[in-house]
Structure 1
Amino acid sequence: MKTATITDFRANMKERLREIEDDQDILILSGPKKKDFVVLTLEQYNAMEETAHLLSTQANAKRLLESIAQDQTNGATLRELNLDE
């Protein structure tokens, strides 16, 4: 995660946006009166929104975590891993 002031961002916008895209990073802009901003690519934003949606219900989160566990353990379930509680 990178940081910059709004003044610096304004003066170097093209370079800063290229860095964010190339590095797939997030830029935090420090603004006046403690008003901070976040700059990220649309791809990053969409990924965050999708993750939030997938984890938005307990049932979805459980299914997702079980799938990850199965993938990482060659098919073992959460119960077999004692993670189902």
Structure 2
Amino acid sequence: MKTATITDFRTNMKERLQEIEEAQDILILTGPKKRDFVVMSLDQYNAMEETAHLLSTQANTQRLLESIAQDKESEVQIREIKLEE
């Protein structure tokens, strides 16, 4: 996570946005009167929103944690799916 002042961001906006996109990083802009802002790519924002949605219920969280544990233990079950012609 990087930080910059709003003035610096305004002066170097193109370069700062390119850095954020390339590094998939977040930029914190510090402003006067403790008015701070966050700048990130839309892809990164969407990923955060999706993660928040997936973890929004206890049941979903439990299923995801179980799946992660199975993956780490290489116990993922693979099922064959037959497509109708």
> What is the TM-score of this pair, normalised by structure 2?
0.87
Q: Secondary structure at the match of 2:4?
A: strand
Q: What runs of 5+ residues in structure 1 fail to find an aligned partner?
A: 77-85
1:18-61 Cα deviation digits (max 9, x unpaired)? 00001110000001110100000000000000000000000000
More helix by share: 1
C-alpha RMSD over aligned residues: 0.9
Give me the identity figure in percent: 79
Larger radius of gyration: 2
Size of the aligned set, in residue pairs, is: 76
Q: Which 4+ residue blocks in structure 1 deviate beyond 2 angstroms? A: none
Which amino acid in the other structure matches residue 14 of structure 1?
A: K
Q: What runs of 5+ residues in structure 2 fail to find an aligned partner?
A: 77-85
Q: Secondary structure at the match of 1:74?
A: coil
